[in-house]
A and B are shown apart, each in its own frame.
Chain A
């Protein structure tokens, strides 16, 4: 009798151990991003570092195949069903119908999705969209460094991607794996962020305006910092031009999750 109890206790202990190990690791296809801080190129008044709490981020952007599974479960997000308030006419434009992504590669990132649809997708997975600061924090890492923004090669890579067309037809996971174990932050598609509409490039925030004029005026020589600013400016300007119902072929998303 006593041995049996002991066995049960042992079993429970092993179970608990197993559970705690599972919790310590990031869920499948998510990477743990450690807390830290970074100085954003835009959006702060004082150029002080912004703190980012530890969180989980999808290793890859959401694929066509994954998004199809979502639409099957939530038919109201089908291309013919979605309300115009939540997505414009080019929503999933290359899909021949609601439940078929046609000639697109199942492993390519889903694009032509609106912010509303992306947000809903993440919520249905028990996740959320990454904030702009979280995205930029992870996006500034190269293979080895947490912050590679001052490296010329890194910036050249990003800028040369911005000039390429149709990288959205590539499969996910083919660009470099960054410091955090995350792929495709640069080089595949642009990505929605939760607070994409927190950007002021139209002169509403004086500081931003200054930065803009710094970018365009008086830059006598092109050095790494200029390239870095230019790459970030491209991203911020793109986000600043978006509306939540917009969809474009080079804009996808991935999900994040807070750590409790």
Chain B
């Protein structure tokens, strides 16, 4: 009898899993059909290169909550703290929601931040897993993206930039949901927004 129940449970969970993946694929298809909203960053057509050297379009991230920050890897002042802020946010998001949230670091120094360099930076900072995505493009696209995020930056010497310290949260449709400005600031609202938006993801 016990075995039978176990078998029944297993098969239910198995069916459950199957239907879940099917459902996920269905929702992906549905998503692709659904028009991109006017305020979505998925209106930006450009390609970006990841720390693994693969090219992606932003809209491939559709369906996930995005937590984004603009940094450069040779930065010694604000960036380590921004990276720490990102990590603190990631730590506070429950594990069961982790496949619905993507943490993204966008380089404002594409000349120096090659995919190899981003990869090394990811490893150094123990961010070399699927949760973390490092992106770089060219100067022009980076400037455009910073304009979308309302992040200001300026090269002040060959190796240094001034930049605003803004962490942005986008909902699964790529619409800006919340921005946290400053270093080491209270991240409660940021996390609340992430949780709220992640729970909406099917």
With an 8 A cutoff between CB atoms, is A53 at the interface?
A: no
A77 within 8 A of B: no
| CA of A198 to CA of B38, assembled, Å | 26
Pairwise interchain contact B151-A83, C-beta atoms closer than 8 A? no
With contacts A44-B156, A200-B152 taken as known, whether A84 is within 8 angstroms of B146 at the C-beta atoms is no
Give the nearest-CB partner of A119 in chain B. Answer: B144
Interface residues of A in 166-207 (CB under 8 A from B): 194-195, 197-200, 204-205
Q: Which residue of A lies closest to B36 (CB)?
A: A83
Q: Decide: A197 and B162 in contact? CB cutoff 8 A.
A: no
CB neighbours of B43 from chain A (8 A): 83, 85-86
Given known pairs A85-B43, A195-B143, A244-B147, the reply for A200 and B162 (CB within 8 Å) is yes
Task: Categorize the interface residue count of chain B.
Answer: 20 to 34
From B78, which residue of chain A is reached at the shortest CB distance?
A: A204
Interface residue B41 (Cβ < 8 Å from any Cβ of A): yes
State whether A243 and B150 are in contact (beta carbons under 8 Å apart), knowing that A194-B143, A204-B164, A205-B162 are contacts in the complex. Answer: yes
Q: Is the CB of B147 within 8 A of A83?
A: no
In the assembled complex, the Cα of A240 lies from the Cα of B152 at a distance in Å of 9
Residues of A within 8 A of B152 (CB): 197-200, 204, 240
- How close is A102's CB to chain B, nearest CB, in angstroms? 24
Most chain A CB within 10 A, of B41, B156, B164, B165, is at B156
Whether A135 is near chain B, meaning CB under 8 Å from some CB there, is: no
Distance A244 CA – B148 CA, assembled complex (angstroms): 7
Tell whether B153 is near chain A: CB-to-CB under 8 Å: yes
A43 — which chain B residues lie within 8 A by C-beta?
Answer: 154, 156
Q: How far is the CA of A115 from the CA of B162 in the complex (A)?
A: 21
Please give the residue numbers on chain B whose beta carbons come within 8 Å of chain A beta carbons, in ascending order: 38-41, 43-44, 143-144, 146-148, 150-154, 156-157, 162, 164-165
CB pairs A–B below 8 angstroms (19 shown): A43-B156, A44-B156, A45-B156, A84-B38, A84-B39, A119-B144, A195-B143, A197-B143, A197-B146, A197-B150, A197-B151, A197-B153, A198-B153, A199-B152, A199-B154, A200-B152, A204-B162, A205-B156, A244-B150
12 more A-B contacts (CB under 8 A) besides A200-B152, A244-B148? A83-B38, A83-B43, A84-B39, A85-B43, A115-B147, A119-B144, A194-B143, A195-B143, A195-B154, A197-B143, A197-B150, A200-B154
